[in-house]
Chains A and B, each alone.
Chain A
Amino acid sequence: MSLEYNLWFFMLKINRRIKREIMNLNITPKEIFNKNLDELVYMGIDIITAEYIVKNKDLKPVEEIIKQMNKKNFKFVFMTDEVYPYLLKSIEDAPIGLFYIGNIMLPKQLLAIVGSRRATNYGKTIAYKISLELSKYNIGIVSGMARGIDTEAHNGAIDSNGFTIAVLGSGFNNIYPKENIKLMNKIIDNGCVFTEYLPDVKPFSFNFPERNRIISGLSNAVLVVEAGISSGSMITVNYALEQGRDVFAVPGDIYKEQSKGCNKLIKEGAKLVDTTDDILEEFGIRNNTKKYNIELDEYEKNIINYINEGNLTFEQIKLKCKYETSFLLSKLTILECKGIIKRVYGGNYVIIKS
């Protein structure tokens, strides 16, 4: 069973860089396990590492993990495995192995959507909307399953039955944040959840910047929806640039903390994204859907036109279109049922499909 040895090698407390160098020697973990100190040193492994490896030839912790994997239904993929995400393999600090739940046959085109945990309605709507629409073109959405933008990005993909990938900053026994466990169950229905950490690892704050390199590494490009100047999303952007990924950003209110990062990125040359088409273009896909292929009557079209000018409260819409209160309320519900608008906190109606 190579899984046991792969896991054993993965769990050795050796620097990832050294592990990668060892794997570059074209040797399998099983072979390493069976070699003695002299042989290891002869192969070119430095003496300290070799001694450590020889001392730690204990498969008990591995069996423990495998037991958990069977029980909780998650799997492990090693960097030499065929199914290991090929884009990720190419990055400098690629993970030696990943635990995952769900479908590891990832789509060819992947977009990471990252942003603030404390997002505004504006950011959340955009994340949801872009994710919803891109999913229809078989673009997978990668994100971190955090609150705010991440959650909305996953939700958008789920709602259009697309493929979405979450990369966690903790082990599978400590899903964080807890309220997103429900979301995770939806993701694994038709997507995949990855983590580099052993099941019992807690969501330490230093895990997340490290996890961010996987988010950008898995994807072809990174879209930043709302991000502060010094935020986790900006760390992801830095990784993306190092890894040679494209970076897109959604512009925002210049007075809002959450938009300053995005606006700075645009200033520095990131592609400004204000419609889904901007991203499709980069992926080389032509937008072939017609606008509003749903039947709408005159009133509904009118209402949509008003909301399109910006997120509006009920009172603002009423002021513009001057319909009767009860009539307007029922029309808004019908538009909600058709999936074109959505009511969000703050009493605002926003367009989610255009």
Chain B
Amino acid sequence: MISRVNSIFLMGLDGYILDIEVDIQNGLPAFNMVGLPDAVIKESKERVRSAIKNSNLEFPKGKVLVNFAPASIKKEGNHLDLPIAISILKACGYIRGNIEKDIFVGELALNGDIRRVRGLLPMIIEARSKRFKRVFIPIDNINEVKMIDGIDIYPVNSLREVIDYLNGEIQLDKVLTIKYDITNVKYGIDFNEVKGHSFAKRAVEIAASGFHNILMYGPPGSGKTMIAQRIPTVLPYLTYEESLEVSKVYSIVGALKDESMIFYPPFRNPHVNVSTNSLIGGGTVPIPGEVSLAHNGVLFLDEFTEFKRDALEALRQPLEDGIVTVSRVKAKYTFPAKFMLVAAMNPCPCGYYGSEIKECKCTELQIKNYLSKISGPILDRIDIHIELSPVKFEELQDSKDEISSLEILKRVIKAREIQAKRFKNDGILYNSNMKSKHIKKYCRLDSDAEKLLENAYKRFNMTTRSYAKILKISRTIADLDESENIKSNHIAEALQYRKLDGTLLK
């Protein structure tokens, strides 16, 4: 008596179809598993046995062998309880229906109930792409899959329910899919709550348009965190495809709870104590880290200099490639990590270097040590540098309405559209992704602009790298201005976002 049931297992972000074969032969009672199951799957023996018995069914009295195919890849996950049970019951002849085009996912409780699992969304997407007809999922996971169409999804409560349905004794309701809808997404915060800081807001507008990384420094209380928190509100809402990428990541770490999908650009602000692995992704079976949770959104590192150096250095690959690769002996796991880095820091350990309010008590050596925690390569990947100073009283008094997130967002969307049109054959999305060949092709300066840049290059002791940065930022500013060529005022504005020369932050 042999049966075969389909399920799915995950490697990184991708689901793979898995065959669960059960063979029951006469002999001394035994329950064995082959095909590289991990500890969680091996333990499922007992859950499956109890669940079957407590569903008023009989566990076969013979030699039960479960095989997971493909046999060479290590599988893990608690979600294979249900398919194992189904496969055993099928082999025993309890299930009469055809289940060749079905997928089962779920963890079993001892009484036969089905519990929620992690990573359901990528599994369903794989099932759909492999043209399976039906998927049975734990009822608690129902929110996660509400927006997936093209496959019938049946949320189930218990093992008994699945069997009765498959035998045609009861009817089950499919998940009703709802449309991906972002019109009602609202943030609790808005840029019009930020008084003054028009310079910073403009910098954020540019950063959001061209997906540039941004570094803010200034004394405590100058509004760095307040501004950073509002950056997602000026990023365009996620498209369905973008949202799917992000939601998959959230599904894998089990962070999709009440929401069906992530509609808005995520905002992550890990604590300074974060380990390299939890920032980048890791674990024996790697799961995505903060950089992937911030995919298509903002990774905000407050107190940038206080992070562990290793953790910061590990940001280099994702900042450059937009993906993270975690290598294990058996496999390589790749997670998406295309995020906008927003870093905030004080200019010195006490925070008041250059400030008019309070005198800085730090020695040059202290400041040097403090700043040297951020390496050149990381600073090089941050295009926009701005200095914030606390809001002055006269700015608070100014009764003029502050610009709202929506106004900024409208301009950002326009600039993004221009970029999408320009880069459609280049395999990049934003101005910040431009490599030197793109810069050469797309950053054409008019003669005034060229003259200004040449002058500035000499006066501000610029390097070739900062030169490229200025061009990228000016391209974004020109896009915001809907200008084909880069004009001198675009270059001039871009120069204000350069690294400050002087003894600090060299």
Contacts and interface: CB of A to CB of B under 8 A. Distances in A.
Interface of A: 118, 121, 147, 177, 179, 256-257, 311, 313-316, 318-319, 325-327, 329-334, 336-337, 339, 343-348
Contact of B500 (A329, A331, A343): A343
Interface stretch (B107-115, B133-141, B172-180, B194-202): B194-202
B452 A334 contact: yes
26 contacts: A118-B360, A177-B364, A179-B503, A313-B389, A316-B392, A316-B395, A318-B199, A326-B202, A329-B496, A332-B496, A333-B491, A333-B493, A333-B495, A334-B452, A336-B456, A336-B459, A337-B455, A337-B459, A343-B496, A343-B500, A344-B354, A345-B354, A346-B353, A347-B218, A348-B354, A348-B389
Contacts of A326: 202, 477, 489, 493
A217 to B, nearest CB: 28
A177 B218 CA distance: 26
Q: Is the interface of A mostly helix, strand, loop or mixed?
A: helix
A179 B364 CA distance: 10
Interface residues of B, number: 42
A316 B452 contact: no
B391 A315 contact: yes
Interface in B452-506: 452, 455-456, 459-460, 477, 488-493, 495-496, 500, 502-504
Given A330-B492, A334-B452, A345 B347 contact: yes
Given A316-B392, A345-B347, A345-B387, A329 B493 contact: yes
B353 A345 contact: yes
Interface string B369-404: 000000000000000000111011011001000000
B359 A327 contact: no
Contact of B199 (A177, A315, A339, A346): A315
Nearest to B397: A319
Contact of A330 (B347, B391, B493, B500): B493
A312 to B, nearest CB: 9
A346 B459 CA distance: 21
B356 interface: yes
B366 interface: no
B87 to A, nearest CB: 65
A346 B491 CA distance: 23
Contact of A347 (B388, B459, B477, B489): B388
B496 A333 contact: yes
A343 B456 CA distance: 14
Interface string B337-363: 000000000010000011110011000
The 4 closest A-B pairs by CB, nearest first: A345-B354, A330-B492, A346-B354, A333-B492
A23 to B, nearest CB: 40
Nearest to B506: A179
Interface of B: 196-199, 201-202, 218, 347, 353-356, 359-360, 364, 368, 387-389, 391-392, 394-395, 398, 452, 455-456, 459-460, 477, 488-493, 495-496, 500, 502-504
A329 B502 contact: no
A266 B355 CA distance: 26
B258 to A, nearest CB: 39
B387 A347 contact: yes
B359 to A, nearest CB: 7
Nearest to B347: A345
Nearest to B219: A346
A35 B354 CA distance: 61
B503 A346 contact: no
A122 B159 CA distance: 77
Contacts of B389: 313, 315, 346-348
A137 to B, nearest CB: 23
Which of A177, A311, A314 has the most CB atoms of chain B within a 10 A radius of its CB? A314
Which of A121, A256, A336, A337 has the most CB atoms of chain B within a 10 A radius of its CB? A337
A345 B199 contact: no
Given A319-B395, A332-B496, A333-B495, A325 B456 contact: no
A329 B492 contact: yes
A221 to B, nearest CB: 28
B130 to A, nearest CB: 51
Given A147-B364, A315-B392, A348 B398 contact: no
